[in-house]
Structure formats: structure tokens, C-alpha cells
Structure 1
Amino acid sequence: MVVVLLLLLLTSTSLAAPSTPQPSETPQRTEPDAVAVVADFAERRHLHFIVAFGCWPDGGLTAMRTWSRRGLRASVHVLEEVRPDLGALLSTTRGAIAVCTALACPGALQIFRKAAGRQLLGAQRHWLLLGEPDADQLPQLALDSSVTLATPDTAAPGSWLLRDAYGLGTRLVVSPAVGWQPGSPMPAPPSRDNLQGLAIKAGIVKVHDDFSRYDDLRYRHLDTWSKLHYAISKVAAARLNFTHNIVFADQWGTRVTKDMFNGQVGQIQRGEVDVAVGGVALRAERSDAIDYTTPTGLFQPAFMFREPSLAAVSNVYTRPFSRGVWLSYSLAALLLALLVVTSQRLLARAQGVLSATADPAVAPPWVDVPLVAFSIVCEEGMQDPPQNTSSRILLMFLLVLAVFHMTAYSACIVTLLQLPSSSIKTLESLFSSKMRIVIHDLPYNINYGNETKDPLIKSFYRERVYSQPRKAFRPLEDCVAQMREGGVACHADEAAYKVIGDTFLESEKCSLKAVPMFPLRGIIMAVRKQSQYKETFSRTLTWLRETGLLKREWTRWVAQKPRCLNRDSGYAEVGLTEVSPALLMVCYGVAASLAALLFEVLLHRLVAAKQGRQKRQQKPGTGNTLVPRAFLR
């Protein structure tokens, strides 16, 4: 902290007028008192370096020795010899300093005015002005000016009257005088938490909503962050007693030249706005243009989507059983079907009816074994039930096995059709999926593709966003509506949760997932560089956080992710995506049957052509050579 003061100004020539009968008494009394006041001032405010301006009778050697004995370092300057570079003299690289001067010394007020013009009265430089100044002579001060006026108390010899001076806009505020005795604890500076109705130029970004609805919670999903921070600022205004002079912007601010920004950050740079009460994101590139107060919270936009079903990303019809179960069941069905056909053929042989022309119902051919097994597995049974008891018993147990298998299989399929896939957990998996991407139409969503250095995100913006901006950037309601239909990922912030909570069914809320693309960012109220309001707002926002008022406003204005209260509240819809493997199997079967039909037709024509050639080559009277019936079948 910085302390301004000291002027062992009252020298024997300045304090002892010619008419004074005791010229030596004043310097001996006043000079040690002033030196002690400065030393106590620095110690009570934990300042270990003093910069003193004055007109010293001995060049300040006495003061330097006194301060050195008390462990204080000092730099003493004679006002007539002060260099014009005040910034170097009042450098705070060593920490906060105490700056002291005596107003009665010629040139002291000019030094103070010059320091005020260069904004060297801030919290790191504590000024102590010895003497009674004229209010009209003091320069315009800032709210964070650290200036203490010290005058001897004529009513109590040895005591001093201390007053703090600071500015409220164009007004000078001087606190009531407080008596102080050197050596006793320094009185605490008066509070500056009453701005007395000061109008502060407050910046707000307005993108999607009219300012007349900024207090209506029904529209909190529009310009959420601006409304939230405006509500926080209103609570701070009630505590600090100031008013808002609103200045609007259409975006937060991106760099347009090496040193300049557009949007609200540019307004702060140019002095058009004192405080960005609508909040800005905490970003390193903005730190050269603006100062940050205390962060109010964190936000992280993300890709929100309804998690696709398991059937949409994999074939659920092969998942109920492991390969071992499928193999053992297939072998068991084939074996039992083989036993059924074998028992029928053995009985036909015993009865003497087994022949090439035998009825398939009595003696089925061996090629029917796979067909019989597949028919029973699918619970279709046999076209011609066996006549013998042994075959019927085998068929019965084969059908019982098929019932158990199909019951377990169907139960697993119904469950799997409603399960989420959990296949999209990262940006890589999202971008490589078949999901269509839609982005909330906000300035930071548009600019992020140009600012990020992530090669994955840059390629995504270049190939899938900037190539079709009209389809990619949509209003929030449209973005959420498309996400609800499925197969669409909507990139938005917490404002989307309000629309989701109003429009989604309970089962749809349970399938909601999010994958962040932005890094986690702090959101904060920003002020001008070296702003007089920085310390006041930082202190007030800290108080709001500690008292819970900040969390209260966040709860009111920032929608939370809807909770999944009942995952089984509705039935999962089964669409073409879910049944596509079964339809694909039918297509394969139709294609195979057409191929077999084509082969049979071709074979039939080949056999017919061969028979025709044989007829033409036969001699008259020779019997026709017939194709065996079994071959034609």
C-alpha cells in the first residue's frame, strides 16, 4: 500500500515567523512530531518504504535517521529538485509505499496534482498530506484514491486530526476528522461502500432478448449470462448505493487489431463503459485491454444430444447369447433334427417303403435335416409331422428346447432395444458418428473455430460448420427441437436446459448426454485498466459470495440439467434403425432365393436342351432316353 506524506516542511524559517519570540522552539517541536506521524502512518498500514517530498532544513537527514532507526526505508526529495518523472519516483516494484508531503511547502500541491493526473494515488501508494488544504485546490480524486489529510489538533496538543479524501464522480468526499495520538493505533479508514447514488456506465451484451424482459424468469434462456450478471449487479447496487447507466453491445469482444477489441471489451477500452455488469469470459488475450474483478462462476458449453440406442450403433440380434451358446444350440438342433430324420428313415426301411420315390412325409431325405433344424429353431415345426412314436418324442423335446431358447432371446432383445449405447463419450467419437451437428447461434460459438488451436476442432469447424453455416447455426429453440428428434447434437450452454425441461418427456430427459468442446471458463465482471471501481466491486462480489446471495442468483437464472426421475416412464420407440438387421436378413434371403430360382431355371433349360439334342440324334424306332425323375427334382 502506498502512503503519501511527509513534509518536515515546517522548518525553522517557515514555522518561526520573525514576530515569533521563540524561533528555535517550533522546529524542535514540530519537526520531530511530523517525522513521528509519518513513521506511525507507515507502520500502522504495514508500509516499509517512504517517499517524502518537502523543503528540509537539513536535506532530510534527521528524518532519514529517525525512520531508519524504526526499520523504515525512505527516499527524501527536496521539492525544488524533484525530477519530472514521478512514475519512477513512486514505483511500487518494492511493494506498497507511503508518500508524504507538507502542503505548506511551495510546490507540494503541484506535485500532488501531477500525481493525481497520472493516476498515482491508487491503493499501492498511500498519500499523507500534512496541513489543511483548501478543497478548491485539490485535484479531482478517484474512488480508490488513498489520501489521508493530517493536521495538528489545536484543542489537544500533540494530537492530530486525520481525514480521508476520495472522489465520487466529479465530487470530492472528505470524511469527518478523527483524533489520533502518535504512538497509538491508527484509526481504520472509513468505509467507501456508499456511492451516494453515483451513476456508473454499465455495459451489457444484448443478443437475443429485449432489455425490457431482463427481469422476467420466463425468458431466462435468452441472454442468460447477461441477465444473471445484471441481477447480481442490482444486488451490488443496492449495497453500494449506485445506479446503472446502461450501455448495450451486440457481442462480448474479439481482437480486431493488435491492441483493439470490438464489442463490450472495446467499449471498456475506449472508456465508454466503466463496468461490464453483463459479465465476460475470463480469457488471457483480454487481460491487456481490461481488468478483471472477482469471478462469479464457471460455465462450459457442450454438445448436448439424446444418447442413441444400442440398436442404432450395433446389431442387437446377435448380442443376447455368446458365441458358445449360439454354437452349442445350433449343434443340438442339428443333432436332434438328424435323429428325427434318421428314426423316420429307419422305420420306413423296416416297413420296406424306403425308396427314391418314397413319400417325404414317410421317409424325409437327408438334405431336409438343416431345414428341419432351422424350422424348429424358429418355432415353425415340420411340414409333415412324423408318424412313429420315437420321432415324435424327439420332435417334442426339440420344440421345448426351441421355446426356452426363443423366450430368453426375445426377453433380451426387448431389453437391448431400450438400452443406450454409451458409445459417444469424447469429441472424437461424436465427430466420427453419424450425428448431425447444430450450434446455438451466439458470437462466441461462431468465433471459437477461428481462435482454437485444437486441430480436431479446427477441422470440424472447417468441414462441417463453416461449409454450411445456415444449417449449422440455429436459434436455441430450433436447436433443442432438432436434438429431441434424435440423431442431432446441439452445442449450447446451460440455457438449453431450460428449454429441455419445458419440452422433453421424462424418458427423453433420461437419455440426455453432453460432451464439452470448450475448456472450462470463468465468467467475471470486467472494468477498465486501473479502474477506480475494481477494488470496490471485487470486495462487494466477494461479500455476495460469502453471504450466499451470489449462489441465489445463479440458482434463479442458470437452469440446471434436468434430473432423470423415472427412466421407465415411457416405451421406447422401435424404428427402422432398430429392425434394420432383421430387414437386412430378409433382403439377403430374398436375394438368395432369387439366385437359387435363376440357377434352377438355367439348370432346367440345360436339361431340356440336352433332351432335345438326344431326341434329334436317335434313330427311328429307338426308344426315348428319359431323364430320371430324381434328377429333375
Structure 2
Amino acid sequence: MSYTLRGYYNGTLVDTRAHRALFQRRRDVMGHTLTMSNVIQDSNTTQYHLPLEDRLEPQFDSIAKICWMEVRLAFKILNATPRHIFSHRWGYKQNGQWSGMINDLHTGKADLGTNCLVSDKERLDVVTYTDMVAPFRVRFVFRQPPLSYVTNIYSLPFSKGVWVAIVVCAVISTAALFVETRWEKTVVRSPSQLDGSVSDAMLLVMSAIGQQGCVLEPRKLSGRVMVFLWFAVLMLLAAAYSANIVVLLQAPSSSIRTLAQLADSGLTLAANDVDYNHFVFSLYKDPVRVKIYKRIDPEKGKGQFYDINEGVERIRQGLFAFHSIVEPVYRRIEKTFQEKEKCDLQEVDLVNGFDPFIPVKKDSPYLELLRVTLKRIRESGIQNCIVRRLQVRRPVCESTSAAFSSVRLRDIRAALLLLPCGLAAALAALIAERVYRHRYF
């Protein structure tokens, strides 16, 4: 036991302590052993590299390594003897029993643990949280789908007013050609001449809109001037339209920004094949998260769980959302993605949790000592230095130049749908003509 004289009584209590703060008087634990439970899930080699603090294999268990470095420094400040144990999960309650790191704290095997999210309210019955040591975020990471995946890009190059103007001009041109060819028919006759019907005038106008020729044409100067002007105007419009289509084919959308939009999207949803992803989805009962959970881990069939390397590669290929701690995902992205592919990355939060904090056993006598020490390490800038060494931030889009990308079938889906629609319209017209001819002729 270590005794400190509080003071003496001389009519009133005279406090003779050098410091009234509990931390200042008790920060020297005189070599007492404090144990930390370290959660590792990426690689067993972390058990070797973590005590050495050699910063090797930073892609594995960076959170555990950062926490150990800072907590070991806190032990030195408190004059404590450091000791560590390892666990392969943060800890969840199953059948009334705790597992993993939370069980180590609850049973007294460890005095504090690795950063964890304050998402499970049941943990508050057995642990207390101190301070944030190694920041991390758990998100869905994906590339925004191409614009052609969520909308009809063939209607986007022109505004609504331009489309209305084109339709009005087409109607006026059809009417003008009809009047001109009706007059022309009374003056001159030719095999390639328009016969003065509305259908022929419309056929010529539609040919001009599609930048195609037509075997029928006016024979007089007035009609040819109208056709020339119409083709010239539409040629300029077609050039602007084509240029915009090329840009839109390469452009990503911004259609998925919320969890509900992600749940309703056609993206493949998956998760990192680690312990917490097999528990965290089942903690929520709201319809959106339940829907996401069923897509990732259906009752029938194989669940969508992948390791970091395969998950990031599928993100690069597109139309794939991967749920994981984002820092190791971004480290892999920095190594495998091209600069252009980093520009459409998007995150969506599932857990909506606070920052992760270091847990200690509830009613631990070292709670105040650890809390103040960790805050001092954070305020001094040491924490920020260690985090920057071992974690990778979100990649920055530094490339604004266009990159080559092959056009896929989904990009021209609207154009392909035009063909069966046209065939159906032609078949309907054929049937109508046959019925009309059978009835009146």
C-alpha cells in the first residue's frame, strides 16, 4: 500500500496534498502489470509484428497495431508493466455469454481492449469506454454506377426545351413540305418526286432527323431549299448530340448516396469475410437494413462474403458495394486502382455509430488514469502521427482527363429497345392495313 497524507485538522481541515487531482497523485502505478486484449482478424502474423512495433505488413490489423502502440506509451507514462493477449473477435453476446475481447474484460483477463464501436448497447453493462485511439469507419464502399445504368442517356444531351423545339420544327417542316409537294405535283411529274401525301413528307423529315437520305425528293427549287436547310440544321444538332453522348457514356452518376438508395439499387452487396460482419447486420431490425442483410447473407444459398483483395477488385470492376472497415480497403485501392477509377468512389454508412473508443472493465480502478493519459497522448499530436503512419486516407481524385472505357450492352440498352419497339409498331401498322384493305376493298 502507498499512503499519501491528506492533511491535518487544526480547527479546520488543512489539505497538504501537492495535487488535488486524482490522476496527479496516482499516475505512478509502480510497475503494476496492465493487460491489453488485442483484436486481430486479418492475419495471424500480427501476433508477431504487433509486440515488435516494426510497422511491417501494415495492411493487416492496422487498428490493433495503432491501439497497441498508443496504449504501450500510456503504460510507460503510468509506469506500468505492459502485457498483451490476443482475441479474434471484438465480442458479442450469444446464449447469455460474452465472447472475444469483451469476455476478456468481463472476466478480468484484460484491463482494456482494442478500439471498438459503441454500437451494441448490451456491452455497456460490462465495459466503460475511455477515449478514441485509432479512428476507423465501417462503411459500404463502391463506385458510383455509370449514368447509363440509372437513366436514359439518349435524352440527356438536350434540354426539354430543345426537344420540344425539334418536334415543333419537324411538324412545321412536314406541313411545309406537304403544301409544297401538293403544288409541285400539279406542275411537274417525276418517278422520284414526292407524291404530295403527308406520309411522304413525314418520311423525308424523319430521314433528315436520322441524318439519312431518302429516295423521294422535291423537284422544284423551293422544296429543295427547305430540305437543304432542314438537313443543315439537323447536322449541327447531330454533331452536338454525338459529342454529348460520348461524354455521358463515360460519366458516373450520383444516384446512390443513402442507405435506402443502396438497398433499392441493382448493385451486388457484399461484406468483408471477418467476424464482425457476421454479427453486425443482425443487430438491426429496421426494414432497410434487414433488406440489405438478406441480400448479403440470404437464408438459402451462399452468402456474399469476400476477402479484402477480391472485394476491392470487384469494386474496381463496378456495380459492387463492399462493407468493411474502409482504411484497409483504401490501402488496397491505392495499389490497384487507376487514377480515373478513384474519382467515383462513394461511401454509405450502415451502422451510424460514433467514433470507436477503448473499452475498459466496468468500475475499473484504472479508468481515470487511462482516460487522462490517452487524452494527453491525443492532444500532444502523437496519436495523429501514429495514425498517419499506419492508415491510408480516402484516395484523392487527381486525374481529370478522360479514360478509355468500352461501351457495354447496358450503355446502349435504350437504343436496343428502340428496335423491338419499331418492329412492334411496324407489325401493328401491317395488321391495320390488312384489316382496312380486307374491309373496304
Q: TM-score, normalised by structure 1?
A: 0.62
Q: Alignment partner for residue 279 of structure 1, among 115, 122, 131?
A: 115
In the alignment, residue 116 of structure 2 is paired with which amino acid? Answer: V
Please report how far the alpha carbon of residue 39 of structure 1 lies from its aligned counterpart in structure 2 after TM superposition: 2.5
- Alpha-carbon distance in structure 2 between the residues aligned to 1:531 and 1:510: 47
- Which residue is 1:202 aligned to? 36
In the alignment, residue 93 of structure 2 is paired with which amino acid? Answer: R
Task: Classify the secondary structure of the residue corresponding to 1:245.
Answer: strand
Task: Classify the secondary structure of the residue corresponding to 1:40.
Answer: strand
Please report how far the alpha carbon of residue 504 of structure 1 lies from its aligned counterpart in structure 2 after TM superposition: 1.3
- Say whether the 8 Å CA contact 1:205–1:252 is kept in structure 2: yes
* Higher strand proportion: 1
- Which residue is 1:54 aligned to? none
Please report how far the alpha carbon of residue 438 of structure 1 lies from its aligned counterpart in structure 2 after TM superposition: 0.4
In the alignment, residue 263 of structure 1 is paired with which amino acid? Answer: G
Q: Show the 5 A alignment for 1:142-541.
A: 189=25, 192=28, 195-196=30-31, 199-210=33-44, 211-214=47-50, 215=53, 217=55, 219-240=57-78, 242-256=80-94, 260-276=97-113, 278-282=114-118, 284-296=121-133, 298-351=135-188, 353=189, 359-361=191-193, 363=195, 365-462=197-294, 464-467=296-299, 470-494=302-326, 495-541=328-374
- Alpha-carbon distance in structure 1 between the residues aligned to 2:193 and 2:378: 87
Q: 1:309 to 1:586 in 2, by over 3 A?
A: same
In the alignment, residue 404 of structure 1 is paired with which amino acid? Answer: L
- Say whether the 8 Å CA contact 1:206–1:251 is kept in structure 2: yes
In the alignment, residue 117 of structure 2 is paired with which amino acid? Answer: A
Task: Classify the secondary structure of the residue corresponding to 1:324.
Answer: helix
- Alpha-carbon distance in structure 2 between the residues aligned to 1:423 and 1:305: 12
Please report how far the alpha carbon of residue 231 of structure 1 lies from its aligned counterpart in structure 2 after TM superposition: 2.4
Once the two structures are superposed, what CA deviation does each residue of 1:375-413 show, in whole Å capped at 9, x if it has no partner? Answer: 011111321443322222111111111112212222222
Once the two structures are superposed, what CA deviation does each residue of 1:110-135 show, in whole Å capped at 9, x if it has no partner? Answer: xxxxxxxxxxxxx5xxxxxxxxxxxx
Q: 1:450 to 1:329 in 2, by over 3 A?
A: closer
- Say whether the 8 Å CA contact 1:300–1:521 is kept in structure 2: no
- Alpha-carbon distance in structure 2 between the residues aligned to 1:597 and 1:461: 51
Q: Alignment partner for residue 393 of structure 2, among 539, 555, 560?
A: 560
Q: 1:569 to 1:368 in 2, by over 3 A?
A: closer
Please report how far the alpha carbon of residue 566 of structure 1 lies from its aligned counterpart in structure 2 after TM superposition: 1.3
Q: 1:513 to 1:212 in 2, by over 3 A?
A: same
Q: TM-score, normalised by structure 2?
A: 0.86
Q: Larger Rg: 1 or 2?
A: 1
* Higher helix proportion: 2
Once the two structures are superposed, what CA deviation does each residue of 1:438-476 show, in whole Å capped at 9, x if it has no partner? Answer: 011232222123322434213432465242574322212
In the alignment, residue 287 of structure 1 is paired with which amino acid? Answer: L
- Say whether the 8 Å CA contact 1:221–1:496 is kept in structure 2: no
- Which residue is 2:423 aligned to? 590
Runs of 5+ consecutive residues of structure 1 not aligned to the other structure: 7-32, 47-95, 97-122, 124-143, 145-187, 611-630
- Alpha-carbon distance in structure 2 between the residues aligned to 1:496 and 1:468: 28
In the alignment, residue 293 of structure 1 is paired with which amino acid? Answer: T
Report percent identity of matched pairs.
26
Please report how far the alpha carbon of residue 225 of structure 1 lies from its aligned counterpart in structure 2 after TM superposition: 1.6
Once the two structures are superposed, what CA deviation does each residue of 1:521-540 show, in whole Å capped at 9, x if it has no partner? Answer: 23233333443433332232
- Alpha-carbon distance in structure 2 between the residues aligned to 1:569 and 1:218: 37
Bigger RCO (CA 8 Å, 6+ sep): 2
In the alignment, residue 139 of structure 2 is paired with which amino acid? Answer: A
- Alpha-carbon distance in structure 1 between the residues aligned to 2:8 and 2:393: 61
- Alpha-carbon distance in structure 2 between the residues aligned to 1:379 and 1:462: 50
Q: 1:287 to 1:336 in 2, by over 3 A?
A: closer
In the alignment, residue 166 of structure 2 is paired with which amino acid? Answer: Y
- Alpha-carbon distance in structure 2 between the residues aligned to 1:594 and 1:217: 71
